[in-house]
Amino acid sequence: MTDDHTHTHVLDFFTPRAADWDSRFPDDGPAYAAAAGLLGLRPGDAVLDAGCGTGRALPALRAAVGREGTVLGADLTPAMLEAAVRAGRGASGTLVRADVARLPLRDGSLDAVFGAGLISHLARPEADLAELARVVRPGGVLALFHPIGRAALAARQGRTITDDDLRAEPRLREMLAGAGWRLESYTDEDDRFLALAVKQS
Ligand SMILES: C[S@@+](CC[C@H](N)C(=O)[O-])C[C@H]1O[C@@H](n2cnc3c(N)ncnc32)[C@H](O)[C@@H]1O
């Protein structure tokens, strides 16, 4: 699959959903804030929200790193970034149109990456997780988050979860290891999926 095909799929899926993205799940705010709080960010840190969409996590990430910190939100879908601007999220971080497969960032320039609802949409998840590892310093953190657990999401979509699911713990652990991350904690409850990983040196 070429990049163009990958991007077309993502744009076709998310462009029509951008305008009412936030209003579809209005109660998710506290869950995003709680997940962002688990990254262990300190004032002055630099953090990327990868696939930031409408930027729902950006205010919590800004609160964690303070005014002197750096908050970036990167997304492939212009309509999502436009919705982020309309929602005022540009006040919390710098919004960039970028592919997580090729980030315009130097090696080791970040302390942490937050990725909510991202990994299932990636065409080459291990390669993209390796690109996220490239831009994070050794010891930095990756949070893969979703405000609903795997089983509850599958039920909502009329599916059942299987062991070859990308986010099943053994598969995710192995993929993260191949991409330069060590899985540190894994939570898959009805109202929260959260995998925390640390960048290996
Ligand atoms: C399910 S949405 C989640 C948005 C936001 N993180 C949230 O939790 O509300 C996934 C987002 O990832 C973006 N995305 C998918 N593939 C991407 C890629 N390769 N690079 C950057 N963003 C991507 C989509 O455009 C979309 O905005």
Quick one: pLDDT band at residue 5, thresholds 50, 70, 90? Answer: low
Interval between CA 118 and ligand 1 midpoint (Å): 5
Quick one: pLDDT band at residue 26, thresholds 50, 70, 90? Answer: confident
- Residues sharing a CB contact under 8 Å with residue 66, sequence separation 6 or more, in sequence order: 43, 44
Using the atom order of ligand 1, give the atom closest to the CA of residue 147.
Answer: 8
Give the torsion sign (CA, 100, 84, 137, 116).
negative
Interval between CA 99 and ligand 1 midpoint (Å): 9
pLDDT at 1 over 90: no
Condensed to tens digits (0 to 9), the pLDDT of residues 128-167 reads: 999 999 999 999 999 999 999 999 999 998 988 887 889 9
For residue 99, CA distances in Å to 11, 52, 131, 153, 193 come to 12, 11, 10, 25, 23
C-alpha triplet 65, 129, 94: angle, nearest 5°: 35
Q: Is 22 in the pocket of ligand 1 (CB under 6 A)?
A: no
pLDDT at 3 over 90: no
Q: Is 116 in the pocket of ligand 1 (CB under 6 A)?
A: yes
In the block, residue with structure tokens 């690109």? 131
Q: Go through 70-95 and write b for each residue having 16 or more CB atoms within 10 A of its CB, e for each that does not.
A: bbbbbbbbebbbebbeebebeebbeb
pTM of the model: 0.95
Q: Is 101 in the pocket of ligand 1 (CB under 6 A)?
A: yes
Contact 148, 75 (CB under 8 A): no
Contact 50, 113 (CB under 8 A): yes
- Give the chain's length: 201
Condensed to tens digits (0 to 9), the pLDDT of residues 61-118 reads: 999 999 999 999 999 999 999 999 999 999 999 999 999 999 999 999 999 999 999 9
* Burial (Cβ within 10 Å: 0-12, 13-18, ≥19) of residue 160: exposed
Probe target for ligand 1 pocket from 2, 9, 121, with the most ligand atoms within 8 Å of CB? 121
User: Cα separation of 116 and 143, whole Å?
Assistant: 8
In the block, residue with structure tokens 């009805």? 190
Write phi, then psi, for 133 (nearest 5 degrees).
-65, -35
